[in-house]
């Protein structure tokens, strides 16, 4: 791969006119007609591009001409991609350029690209020329305002972009030296996007959410409340994304937060006020149930390409009626979820969550409320883990599937406990145990999924028939898929013994006991 | 990376103007383009204001001994880079003759950057030689500009016969486009209308008119579309790109 031409940003209080005057004294330049341009930066809701040190922006000239979609390395500023575009894509699939899609897709996954901020700038380009009047370096002067999504705006500092022209590195360095030494202009280490977010008062907008750090000696009631506050925040943050159906991860993240809250309240009992806890658990269960069908449909649609690939190529289009069915019903379920989120019951549930988390219920905390969270969590973790050992140890070749499903639920409980409380122990000790548990969970999860999917396919086939959109070829395709899923389920079942064996080696068991048997 | 070469046995038919303008248009349409000025006279390099010199000369370049990345020059236009001409290219035949797999050398020279560009355009020197053989081998589409005169078309026919004899036509798309067309001349009009290309070649519908605007490229030192975008030759080059691009597998919508 060719190295991309270098680029550097300088920040200055000099005006563009002053800078131009100074540059003309030293170099032969050509100044382009000033133009206006807007730049909109975008990232996923969870800042995946930022996490990968990438910046995505759409530059649009004011004259209505097509703009450029660019992707840059956030720290060096080097351009990785630049393609013509009129709009910011919602998803990588929306980009016309294949090479661009191939770069964006792994970074962004299934998340939607959301605009973060827009800058309206006056751009003056100064081209530094050689003896043939060839451009050997570019200086782009920018000034203007930046606007956030909720309408706040701020002044944009004058920035200088120095851009190398490929094949002229020495000229680039010379201009850079002139700016720093002669004009005493400082290089700006931060990216434009960071500057934009800072100007808008939201410098941490893309930072990952900090994990709640619990202290082992903290009172259990206080620790649990802090966790509940955090989980509720996550639900609130994701609600709008669900309502507007921006992408499927908003609902997923909302449900994960609700599930964790439920798990917390049901597994660590006698800490918070019992009646309020019980009521909230009931309401959280309702939220899970109200959002379940939509999530199921999302998962089916996400898995559909994989399912298609299970079929011989000439039969893949036979699943088109399935896709139509899923989309039709998804629209209905989405409407139902939005109704649920807008309902008084939901508002009341969140209100109850707030009161419990902020210690505003009239009931007293439970008998274990004042205990230290470290030892309490350790006991719960050990208990959950022992249950897995016991139940899993009883599973033999001929044991019914329900035993594995039940073990999976036990595994989930342990997993949530480790996610919520594992931070109190050294990462290097907890990580291998979580990893081993994940392997077991993956096996049990796949086993369950294969079964559930088979049931679902039958249900879907019946639904398609009821809707009057069930050609024989589609039904046959579903039948084929069902057989493939059955094979998959049997395969996972056969793998269980070995995987469970690896989870329960003497070394593993000793490690667990050692870690959670001692104080955090 | 697709490859397009503008080639003619005769000089002065509009090869370089065609290469320069098509390369520029393709880059404007979003393609990453590399133009290789293979003509030791360096006309394409001149148009882009780039000195016709390659460090280490043509010798090191085609032997793969140069760091190609450091030889490429960005033009004044986005997404369009140039591998400049060098006077040593006048010996390129001799240089190639001394290498192994000499006909494959040219294609191999660009191997390190084939993922960085969507399109490579070769602006070839007018000759039949080892260099042109190497170009025929390395390229997907051979664009042959021809003036609508009997002599010019005779050389086109000779070229196609030669390519057929060498077995090149199986893998090479040969497209003939009329350049320097003067519609006031009946001979030109008749030939453009009536000439049938020999088997193995195609005649493109687009013709490039004779125009002072194209000659002005030498003064403006830029593609016509930059300084005279609404003129007939600028429009004609855009149409030519739209006609050629599908043969390269490049979408133009």
pLDDT, one tens digit for every residue, chain B (253 residues): 999 999 998 888 899 999 999 999 999 988 999 999 998 889 999 999 999 988 877 777 877 777 888 899 999 998 999 999 887 777 777 777 766 666 677 788 888 999 899 999 999 988 888 888 888 888 999 999 999 999 899 999 999 998 988 888 888 999 999 999 999 999 999 999 999 999 999 999 999 999 999 999 999 999 999 999 999 999 999 999 999 999 999 987 6
Which residues of chain B have a CB within 8 Å of the CB of A167? 70-74, 81
pLDDT, residue A518, reads: 64
pLDDT at B30: 83
- Per residue in A434-456, pLDDT tens? 999 999 999 999 998 888 888 88
- Cβ under 8 Å to B: A residues 64-103: 82-84, 96-97, 99
Identify the pLDDT of residue B106: 79
Residue A165 touches partner B, C-beta closer than 8 Å:
yes
Among B45, B48, B74, the strongest candidate for a mutation testing the A interface, having the largest count of A CBs within 10 A, is B74
**Alpha carbon of A127: minimum distance to chain B alpha carbons (Å):** 9
Which pLDDT score is estimated for B160? 92
CA B109 to chain A, closest CA, distance in angstroms equals: 14
Residue with tokens 């000099």: A14
Rounded to 5 degrees, φ, ψ at A325 are: -60, -50
Q: Half-sphere exposure of residue A436, counting CA atoms within 13 Å on the CB side?
A: 19
Residue B81 C-alpha, separation from nearest chain A C-alpha, in angstroms: 8
Mutation target to probe the A interface, by most A beta carbons within 10 A, among B54, B76, B115 is: B76
DSSP letter, residue B118: S
Tell me if residue A434 falls in helix, strand or coil. helix
Share of chain A above pLDDT 70, in %: 99
Other beta carbons within 10 angstroms of residue B244's beta carbon come to 23
Residues 6+ apart with CB under 8 A from B112: B68, B69
Whether A82 sits inside 8 A of B79 (CB atoms) is: yes
Which of B49, B73, B116 lies nearest to residue A167, judging by beta carbons?
B73
Nearest chain B alpha carbon to A165: B74
Across the A:B interface, residue pairs with CB atoms under 8 Å apart total: 41
Contacts of A166 in chain B (CB under 8 A): 72-74, 81
Whether B70 sits inside 8 A of A167 (CB atoms) is yes
Rounded to a whole number, what is the distance in Å from the CA of A120 to chain B's nearest CA?
A: 22
Q: Which tens digit of pLDDT belongs to each residue from A291-305?
A: 999 999 999 999 899
Q: For the residues A164-193, what does the mean pLDDT come to?
A: 93
Contacts B70 to A, Cβ<8 Å:
167
Q: What is the pLDDT of residue B16?
A: 95
Quote the tokens at residue B156. 């086109």
pLDDT digits (tens, 9 = 90+) for A62-88: 877 788 999 998 888 788 888 888 899
Token pair in block for residue B187 = 């001979």
Element (H, E) at A14: none
Q: Are A460 and A329 in contact (CB under 8 A)?
A: no
User: Is the distance from CB of B50 to CB of B75 less than 8 angstroms?
Assistant: yes
pLDDT value of residue B17:
96
Scanning every residue of chain A, which has its alpha carbon at the shortest distance from the alpha carbon of B220?
A133
Residue from A1, A2, A133 to probe the interface with B (highest B Cβ count within 10 Å): A2
Contacts of A309 (CB under 8 A, 6+ apart): A316
At residue A156, does pLDDT exceed 70?
A: yes
Beta bridge partners of A120: A38, A145
Q: Say how far apart CA B251 and CA B246 lie, in whole Å.
A: 6
pLDDT at A149 (0 to 100): 79
Provide the pLDDT for residue A517: 84
| Residues found in chain A | 520
Pair A411, A441: CB distance under 8 Å: yes
Q: How far is A1 from chain B (nearest CA, A)?
A: 6
Q: What number is the ipTM of this complex? A: 0.90
* CB-CB under 8 Å, A5 with B69: no
Name every chain A residue with its beta carbon within 8 A of the beta carbon of B69: 2-3
> Is B74 close to A5, i.e. CB distance below 8 A?
yes
pLDDT at A453: 85
Q: Is A345 on the interface with B (CB under 8 A)?
A: no
Position A488 pLDDT exceeds 80: yes
Pair A71, A193: CB distance under 8 Å:
no
- Contact, A113 vs A43, CB < 8 A? yes
**pLDDT confidence of A47, banded at 50, 70, 90?**
very high
Cα torsion through B35, B37, B43, B47, rounded to 10: 30
CA separation for the pair A28, A119 (Å, rounded):
30
**Coil, helix or strand at residue A105:** helix
Structure tokens at A276: 């309020």
Nearest residue on chain B to A133, alpha-carbon basis: B49
Q: Do A84 and B29 touch (CB under 8 A)?
A: yes
Q: How far is B84 from chain A (nearest CA, A)?
A: 11
Question: What is the crossing angle of helices B232-244 and B15-28, to 10°?
Answer: 70
User: CB distance A2–B72 less than 8 Å?
Assistant: yes
Residue B72 pLDDT: 94
B74 touches chain A (CB under 8 A): yes
Residues near A440 by beta carbon (within 8 Å), at least 6 away in sequence: A411, A499, A500, A503
What is residue A76's DSSP assignment?
Answer: T
The residue among B2, B26, B30, B112 with the most chain A CBs within 10 A of its CB, best to mutate, is B30
pLDDT for B100: 67
Instruction: Give the Cα-Cα-Cα angle A6, B51, B248 (nearest 5 degrees).
Output: 75
Query: What are the residues whose beta carbons fall under 8 Å from the beta carbon of B176, sequence distance 6 or more?
Result: B144, B145, B146, B156, B197, B201, B202, B203, B204
Residue A54 contacts residue A107 (beta carbons within 8 Å): yes
Q: Please, what is the angle between helix A220-243 and helix A373-393, to 10°?
A: 70
Residue A461's nearest CA partner among A471, A446, A451 is A471
User: What per-residue string of b and e applies to B147-159 under the rule 16 or more CB within 10 Å gives b?
Assistant: bbeeebbebbeeb
**Best of A69, A167, A168, A170 to mutate (most B CBs within 10 Å, chain B):** A167
| DSSP 3-state of B38 | coil
Q: Judge: B30–A84 Cβ closer than 8 Å, yes or no.
A: yes
Beta carbons of A137 and A178 less than 8 angstroms apart = no
State how far residue B180 is from chain A, nearest Cα, in angstroms: 28
pLDDT at A519: 57
- The closest alpha carbon to A236, from A209, A200, A204, belongs to A209
pLDDT digits (tens, 9 = 90+) for B57-115: 777 787 777 788 889 999 999 899 999 988 777 777 777 776 666 667 778 888 899 98
Q: Are strands A153-164 and A7-12 parallel, antiparallel or unpaired?
A: antiparallel
Q: Give the model's pLDDT for residue A139.
A: 96
- Whether residue A160 is predicted with pLDDT greater than 80 in this model: the reply is yes
User: Given A83, A133, A166, which is nearest B73 (Cβ)?
Assistant: A166
Please tell me if residue A400 touches chain B, with a CB cutoff of 8 Å. no
Q: Which residues of A103-127 are buried (b: 16+ CB within 10 A; e: fewer)?
A: bbeebbeebbbbebbbbebbbbbbb
Q: Are A311 and A480 in contact (CB under 8 A)?
A: yes
Are the C-beta atoms of A467 and A325 separated by less than 8 Å? yes
Give the gap in angstroms from C-alpha A495 to the nearest C-alpha of chain B. 42
Identify all chain B residues contacting A3, using CB atoms and an 8 Å cutoff: 69
Sign of CA dihedral A16, A20, A22, A23: positive
In angstroms, the Cα distances linking A174 to A26, A136, A217, B49 are 11, 11, 60, 20
């Amino acid at each position: 791969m060719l190295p991309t031409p270098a680029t550097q940003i300088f920040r200055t209080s000099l005006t563009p006119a002053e800078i131009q005057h100074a540059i003309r004294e030293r170099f032969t330049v050509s100044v382009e007609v000033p133009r206006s341009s807007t730049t909109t930066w975008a990232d996923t809701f969870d800042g995946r591009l930022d996490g990968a040190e990438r910046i995505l922006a759409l530059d649009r000239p004011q004259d209505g001409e097509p703009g450029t979609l660019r992707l840059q390395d956030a720290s060096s500023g080097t351009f990785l991609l630049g393609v013509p575009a009129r709009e910011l894509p919602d998803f990588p699939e929306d980009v016309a350029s294949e090479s661009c899609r191939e770069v964006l897709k792994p970074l962004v996954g299934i998340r939607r690209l959301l605009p973060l901020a827009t800058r309206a700038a006056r751009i003056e380009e100064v081209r530094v020329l050689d003896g043939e009047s060839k451009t050997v370096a570019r200086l782009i002067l920018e000034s203007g305002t930046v606007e956030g999504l909720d309408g706040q705006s701020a002044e944009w500092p004058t920035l200088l972009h120095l851009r190398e022209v490929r094949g002229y590195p020495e000229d680039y360095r010379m201009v850079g030296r002139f700016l720093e030494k002669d004009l005493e202009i400082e290089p700006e280490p931060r990216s434009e996007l960071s500057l934009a977010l800072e100007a808008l008062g939201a410098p941490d907008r893309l930072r990952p959410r900090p994990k709640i750090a619990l202290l082992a000696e903290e009172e259990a009631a206080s620790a649990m409340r802090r966790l509940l506050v955090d989980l509720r925040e996550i639900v609130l943050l994701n609600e709008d994304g669900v309502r507007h159906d921006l992408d499927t991860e908003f609902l997923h993240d909302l449900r994960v937060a609700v599930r964790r809250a439920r798990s917390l309240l049901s597994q660590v009992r006698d800490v918070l006020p019992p009646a309020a806890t019980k009521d909230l658990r009931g309401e959280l269960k309702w939220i899970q149930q109200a959002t379940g069908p939509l999530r199921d449909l999302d998962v089916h649609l996400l898995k559909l390409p994989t399912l298609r690939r299970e079929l011989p190529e000439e039969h893949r289009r036979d699943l088109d009626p399935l896709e139509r069915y899923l989309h039709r019903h998804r629209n209905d379920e989405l409407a139902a979820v939005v109704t649920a989120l807008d309902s008084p019951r939901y508002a009341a549930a969140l209100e109850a969550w707030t009161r419990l988390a902020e210690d505003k219920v009239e009931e007293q905390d439970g008998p274990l409320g004042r205990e230290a969270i470290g030892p309490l969590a350790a006991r719960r973790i050990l208990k959950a883990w022992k249950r897995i050992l016991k139940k899993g140890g009883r599973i033999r070749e001929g044991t019914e599937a329900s035993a594995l499903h039940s073990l999976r639920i036990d595994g989930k409980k342990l997993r949530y406990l480790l996610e919520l409380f594992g931070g109190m122990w050294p990462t290097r000790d907890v990580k291998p145990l979580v990893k081993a548990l994940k392997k077991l969970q993956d096996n049990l999860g796949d086993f369950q999924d294969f079964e559930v999917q088979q049931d679902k396919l039958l249900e879907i086939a019946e639904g398609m028939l009821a809707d009057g959109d069930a050609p024989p070829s589609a039904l046959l395709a579903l039948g084929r898929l069902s057989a493939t899923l059955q094979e998959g389920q049997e395969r996972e079942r056969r793998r269980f013994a070995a995987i469970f064996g690896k989870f329960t080696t003497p070394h593993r068991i000793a490690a667990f006991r050692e870690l959670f048997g001692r104080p955090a | 990376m697709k490859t397009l070469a503008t080639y003619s046995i005769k000089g002065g038919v509009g090869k370089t103007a065609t290469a320069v303008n098509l390369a520029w248009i393709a880059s404007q349409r979003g393609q990453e383009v590399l133009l290789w000025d293979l003509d030791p006279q360096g006309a394409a390099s001149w148009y882009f204001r780039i000195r016709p010199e390659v460090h280490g000369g043509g010798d090191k370049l085609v032997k793969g001994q140069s760091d190609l990345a450091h030889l490429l020059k960005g033009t004044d236009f986005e997404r369009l880079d140039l591998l400049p001409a060098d006077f040593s290219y006048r010996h390129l035949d001799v240089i190639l003759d001394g290498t192994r797999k000499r006909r494959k050398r040219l294609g191999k020279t660009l191997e390190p950057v084939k993922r960085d560009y969507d399109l490579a355009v070769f602006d070839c020197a007018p000759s039949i030689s080892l260099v042109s053989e190497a170009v025929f081998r390395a390229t997907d589409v051979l664009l042959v500009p021809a003036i609508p005169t009997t002599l010019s078309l005779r050389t086109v026919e000779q070229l196609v016969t030669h390519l057929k004899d060498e077995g090149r036509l199986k893998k090479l798309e040969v497209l003939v486009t009329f350049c320097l067309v003067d519609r006031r001349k009946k001979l030109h009009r008749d030939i453009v209308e009536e000439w049938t290309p020999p088997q193995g070649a195609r005649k493109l519908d687009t013709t490039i008119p004779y125009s002072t605007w194209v000659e002005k490229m030498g003064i403006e030192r830029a593609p016509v579309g930059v300084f005279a975008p609404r003129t007939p030759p600028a429009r004609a080059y855009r149409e030519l790109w739209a006609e050629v691009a599908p043969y390269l597998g490049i979408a133009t919508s």
